[in-house]
Amino acid sequence: MSTGAGVMRWWGWGDARHQGGLPPAAVPLLQAEIGLGDGRRVAFDQVRVGPAALPAGVRDDLVRAVGADGVLDDRLSRIERAAGRSYPDLLRLRAGDAEQAPDAIVLPVDHAQVRAVLDVCARAGVAVVPFGGGTSVVGGVEPWRGAFSAVIALDLGRMDAVSSVDERSLVATVEPGIRAPALETALGDRGLTLGHYPQSYEYVSIGGCVATRSAGQSSVGYGRIEDQVLGLRCAAPAIDLVCAPHPATAAGPQVRELLVGSEGVFGVLTEVTLRVRHAPAEKRYEGFMFPSFSAGSEALRVLAQEGAAPDVTRLSDEEETRISLTMSGDGGLKGQVARRYLKARNVMGGALAIAGWEGEHEEVSARRERSAEILGRHGAVGLGRTAGNAWAKGRFHGPYLRDDLMDRGVLVDTLETATSWSNLFTLYRAVGDVLREHSAVVMCHISHVYPSGASLYFTYLARQDAQDPLGQWQRVKTAATDAIVARQGTITHHHGVGRDHAPWMRAEVGDGALAALGAVKAELDPVGIMNPGKLLGV
Amino acid sequence: MSTGAGVMRWWGWGDARHQGGLPPAAVPLLQAEIGLGDGRRVAFDQVRVGPAALPAGVRDDLVRAVGADGVLDDRLSRIERAAGRSYPDLLRLRAGDAEQAPDAIVLPVDHAQVRAVLDVCARAGVAVVPFGGGTSVVGGVEPWRGAFSAVIALDLGRMDAVSSVDERSLVATVEPGIRAPALETALGDRGLTLGHYPQSYEYVSIGGCVATRSAGQSSVGYGRIEDQVLGLRCAAPAIDLVCAPHPATAAGPQVRELLVGSEGVFGVLTEVTLRVRHAPAEKRYEGFMFPSFSAGSEALRVLAQEGAAPDVTRLSDEEETRISLTMSGDGGLKGQVARRYLKARNVMGGALAIAGWEGEHEEVSARRERSAEILGRHGAVGLGRTAGNAWAKGRFHGPYLRDDLMDRGVLVDTLETATSWSNLFTLYRAVGDVLREHSAVVMCHISHVYPSGASLYFTYLARQDAQDPLGQWQRVKTAATDAIVARQGTITHHHGVGRDHAPWMRAEVGDGALAALGAVKAELDPVGIMNPGKLLGV
């Protein structure tokens, strides 16, 4: 049990120790292509927070459930859990709007305390928003009270233990609030790893990864989180659920797969059993340059279908390649590498790929050789490890950069989807076209590959509309998601649904699946207190 | 659309062309260790079938839904769908008991006809049992009418088309009634394969595999059926469900995983989209002999955890090894091989493993070398391809052999489970001990390996109790399943739940999951007509 450390600074990503700032080469580029403005934020004492609306009797009951030190309702704690970390979340916070902050933060220490808290809230009609690392970029931890008069953030920060490790079966059971880095440290002490590295890695909780069906940057190799979850325990308002960690079973529908991705709308995950692996002796990351995004994409398809994909497999389109190389600057690592290798081969203007292999040295060599042969066959030019290591060094920097861009009055957001290889370029063009109608810069990369298809991860930048920045964002988001749905992409490959994607769930899964999920919701959470408005939109 | 060919002979496995008979060396062995008796079956005209109870008006409605040629209620058709192919099923049929035969067989040709049939049956209160290949060994297609006065078998034999193949994405969409061999033929014409080979391969339907969460003999390499299902369409009495075949998605709980393994209790799968692969240029099967089951099991654990497991990975315990070698006889292939290799190395009495690699020649060589190194490190002696090919030749013969044994008055059945590597031998001993209390011969093999654990597949033989063969079987089944549950095994690794395992579903998944599944059932099938008594026991 910890004291719930690791909450991010209230207005942005990361903690106060982080030194931000745009890379020098970025400023003229952004000025020329987007235009920079003023994105100042209000001071902390100007942030608006509504009065805590929790009835005194309910607060007393919660204190009885988790102890006095487990119920927080000071101003800072409430503001810190007032939102996730999406662009609109940060827009609101920076403007001083934390009106919808939770009325209290409740920190249980175990399953029994979670159960007690849910009992109190179901009886009193108080909405419950499970809160792990608070990293959601889709409104997944927004403390919306729905039809209820009060809402608590159920912060899992004190449930952060590694409960057990079965080294013989390579299985670890953990509490949901453990952060990904803490888990990697604990596993690393035993020579093990989970290998799950979403961009939110530094702050994300494992329970949050499971509840949102997360994928990490190495998931091509290690699997998405649902490929690693073997067992679960969940406290729903009406009943507990336990999914035993069998290696495989034919005993009917998998209720585990109902709880993975359930985003807290059915109940609270209180324990997760995960498949882990031996920690790799070597992590080898390399850059490759393709003549075009389409040539690179073809190489990635073959890699995935021949079982030869690197553990990290990423491919930027021409625009993302151009922007990254330019932003790294004349003195930048990528710039150097690119010029040295690419001018000689006259392929400037191509598509940059990052490939990473992890494992025993011999295995890494053999797998690298096989991948590189396929990459080369599709026109890739090797850029060596310098480019790969530069990517690895900056792999979690995106959210910090977003803060810096918002400081300069830039609208910056990402959205992601996935589809079959056959449909990939149709979807890529359709979404890109829509984004370009609203943005100055639109870039994309393939972040994950599968035998049947791949994900597309778009980043778009525009000068912020100073009058109506939220409306501006909502218009792009709506148009882009409509385009994704119209072209048979999934509404989210790894960000989750939350509140932002909930309006498209009917288009995504259809009436039949929504009816089934609604029935499960009614059974497990009959009062409807769990995470209102998320996922199912109810 | 076919005419629904491929129904098995009414009293046993396979069709009339199959020539059975125990291998010569088996008879003295069985006589000595079990004792042989008389397992004669009644003649076809002595089989008892109740009168077809379908009200004339309902029959007319069904004819309107699927055409006159789509409704069968002749005596042979009803007897052919009166049971699956479990040991108790065959006991009843051979004794002339087809009393519970379905009142009619209805053969829709497409999703719309399935929907029309469900509408008729929901309105009239007629139970519906989806029927694919009829190969269930757990009572999954038992035409139990539950609380209703009539029951139909919804035979999917005329929905057997390959709807589309996306060769670029390696994805095939098929109708549920297509049999596994027909699909392999259709895919093979395009250089593709599904690679799903349960022991029931010759008769099993793909819809049946999906509905029962099947695993095949090559599933260590190709994945269990749930690893290959990307999309689904399902007609439930209340509503249609469609799961889009995205390569991956974070859009909430996976309803697809509710339908995979749903055993027809929610609705009827009418379309399945599957991941397929390039057909292997080479299939290389080899035998290996370990000094003991425990040494072999340790080798398999390392193979699975190092990602080096062959596509087919099987390991018999000492008793199964002894019986197989003896039954193959002095002149038998396995016997020859065993004697030649094993006497020289003085390891007679060990544990026989079969390993199979499939793929491009170079890949097969490389993977084989890596596996063989690990096998050798754990004391395996290579038996070469002759032993492997002997296994491959007989890989679907088990059910025929069962018929032959039943002709001789032998109780023969199999049961299977899975657990973690840590728990494997505890479970193995506990189940084996219980089976030995009831049986003369108890043998076991590991049929599938995973990084976190493995399956155990038991075969047990006893002299049939001529007075009460069903009671005898039920006593063993109950004791063994109780032992599995007590020792944290899953009640089924790949046979499914059906009626036989339904009493243990609460122990398997717990009250919470049962409540969730019950809510889904009530939502999708409010009248409760779908496959009564199976899976959820309602």
Three-class SS state of A37:
coil
Mean pLDDT, residues B223-252 taken together:
98
Using the 8-state DSSP alphabet, how is residue B179 labeled? Answer: B
Size of interface A-B (CB pairs under 8 A): 291
Query: What pLDDT was estimated at residue A343?
Result: 60
Cα of A395 to nearest chain B Cα, Å = 21
**Alpha-helix residue ranges (DSSP H) falling in A329-360:** 333-338, 344-345
Per-residue burial over A5-41, b = 16 or more CB atoms within 10 Å of its CB, e = otherwise: ebbbebbbbbeeeeeeebbebbeebbeeebebeebeb
- The bridge status of strand A229-235 relative to strand A268-275 is antiparallel
- At residue A458, φ and ψ (nearest 5 deg) are -100, 140
Percent of chain B with pLDDT over 70: 95
Interface predicted TM-score (ipTM) of this complex, two decimals: 0.96
Q: Which residues of B touch A423 (CB under 8 A)?
A: 169
| CA distance, residue A371 to nearest chain B CA (Å) | 13
Q: Which of A215, A253, A448 shows the shortest C-beta gap to B257?
A: A253
Most A CBs within 10 Å: which of B138, B167, B168, as the mutation test of the A interface? Answer: B168
B398-453 per-position pLDDT tens digit: 999 999 999 999 999 999 999 999 999 999 999 999 999 999 999 999 999 999 99
Q: A257 vs B262: CB contact, 8 Å cut-off?
A: no
- Name the amino acid, one letter, at B292: S
Residues A374-410: pLDDT tens digits? Answer: 999 999 999 999 999 999 999 999 999 999 999 999 9
Contacts of B491 in chain A (CB under 8 A): 249, 251
Interchain CB distance below 8 Å, A516 and B421: no
Residues of chain B contacting A165 with CB distance shorter than 8 Å? none
**Residue where the block lists tokens 């989209």:** B273
User: pLDDT, tens digit, for every residue of B358-394?
Assistant: 999 999 999 999 999 999 999 999 999 999 999 999 9
**pLDDT, tens only, B296-326:** 999 999 999 999 999 999 999 999 999 998 8
What distance lies between CA A461 and its chain's CA centroid?
A: 19
Looking up tokens 């409704």, which residue turns up?
Answer: B71
C-alpha–C-alpha distance, residues A103 and A105, integer Å? 7
Of B145, B135, B112, B148, the residue nearest B235 (C-alpha):
B112
pLDDT digits (tens, 9 = 90+) for B320-355: 999 998 887 655 555 555 555 556 555 557 999 999
Flag whether pLDDT at A4 surpasses 50.
no
Mean pLDDT of chain B: 94
pLDDT digits (tens, 9 = 90+) for A41-65: 999 999 999 999 999 999 999 999 9
Arithmetic mean of pLDDT, B137-156: 97
Largest CA distance in chain B: 74
Question: Residue A259's closest CA among B362, B253, B199, B503?
Answer: B253
pLDDT of residue A99: 96
Chain A residue with the nearest C-alpha to that of B424: A169
Q: pLDDT digit string (tens) for A421-439?
A: 999 999 999 999 999 999 9
The two structure tokens encoding residue A284: 């080898």
Give me the mean pLDDT over the A444-467 stretch.
Answer: 97
pLDDT at residue B1, as a whole number: 35
Kindly give, in sequence order, each residue whose CB lies less than 8 Å from that of residue A358, ignoring residues fewer than 6 positions away: A195, A218, A221, A280, A282, A283, A284, A311, A312, A364
Helix (H) or strand (E) holding A295: helix A293-305
d(CA B165, CA B273): 9
Per-residue pLDDT at A281: 97
Q: In this complex, do B244 and A490 lie within 8 Å of one another by their Cβ atoms?
A: yes
Q: Which residue reads 């400081």 in tokens?
A: A407
Name the residue with higher pLDDT: A348 or B289: B289
Query: Are residues A493 and B248, on separate chains, in Cβ contact within 8 Å?
Result: yes
CB-CB: which of B166, B418, B524 is closest to A422? B166
The answer to whether the Cβ–Cβ distance between B519 and A520 falls below 8 Å is yes
Report the distance separating Cα B80 and Cα B537, nearest Å: 24
pLDDT digit string (tens) for A494-538?
999 999 999 999 999 999 999 999 999 999 999 999 999 999 988
Residues on chain B touching A279 (C-beta within 8 angstroms): none
Contact residues for A47 (Cβ-Cβ < 8 A; gap 6+): A10, A79, A93, A96, A97, A98
State the pTM of this model.
Answer: 0.96
Answer whether A254 sits within 8 Å of B247, measured CB to CB.
no
B516 neighbourhood in chain A, CB within 8 Å: 241, 255, 258, 520, 523-524
Distance from CA of B417 to the nearest CA of A (A): 8
- Cross-chain residue pair A422–B512, CB shorter than 8 Å: no
The partner residue sitting opposite B251, judged by closest CB among A241, A509, A519, is A509
Q: In which region does residue B482 sit, left (phi positive, over 0), alpha (psi from -120 to 50) or beta (all else)?
A: alpha
Summarised one tens digit per residue, pLDDT across range A37-47 is 888 899 999 99
Contacts of A275 in chain B (CB under 8 A): 451-452
Q: Are the beta carbons of B247 and A420 separated by less than 8 Å?
A: yes
Mean pLDDT of B470-497: 98
**What per-residue string of b and e applies to B345-365 under the rule 16 or more CB within 10 Å gives b?**
eebeebbbbbbbbbbeeebbe
Interchain proximity B213–A505, CB inside 8 Å: no
Please give, rounded to a whole number of angstroms, the shortest distance from the CA of A487 to a CA of chain B.
12
Beta-carbon separation of A519 and B515 below 8 A: no
Mean of pLDDT values over A148-164 = 98
Q: Which residue among B251, B518, B524 sits closest to A505, beta carbon to beta carbon?
A: B251
Q: pLDDT grade, residue B3 (50/70/90)? A: very low
Rounded CA-CA distance B434/B432 in Å is 5
**CB A513 to CB B255 under 8 A?**
yes
Give the least confident one: A87-91, A454-458, B204-208, B337-341: B337-341
CB contact under 8 A, A523 and B519: yes
Residue A150 phi, psi dihedral angles, 5° rounding: -145, 160
Contact B251 A490 (CB under 8 A): yes
Task: Provide the 10 A C-beta neighbour count for residue B69.
Answer: 12
Q: Which residue of B has its CA nearest to A489?
A: B246
Smallest CA–CA distance from B524 into chain A, residue: A516
Residues of chain A with Cβ-Cβ distance to B277 below 8 Å are 305, 451
DSSP string for B300-316: HHHHHHTT---SEEEEE
Ranges A31-40, A423-432, B107-116, B243-252: which has the least confidence: A31-40
Question: What pLDDT was estimated at residue A22?
Answer: 86
Alpha helices in A329-468, H assignment, sequence order = 333-338, 344-345, 361-377, 384-393, 398-407, 424-438
Instruction: Count CA within 13 A, CB hemisphere, residue B408.
Output: 22
Nearest-by-Cβ selection for A250 from B169, B212, B420 = B212
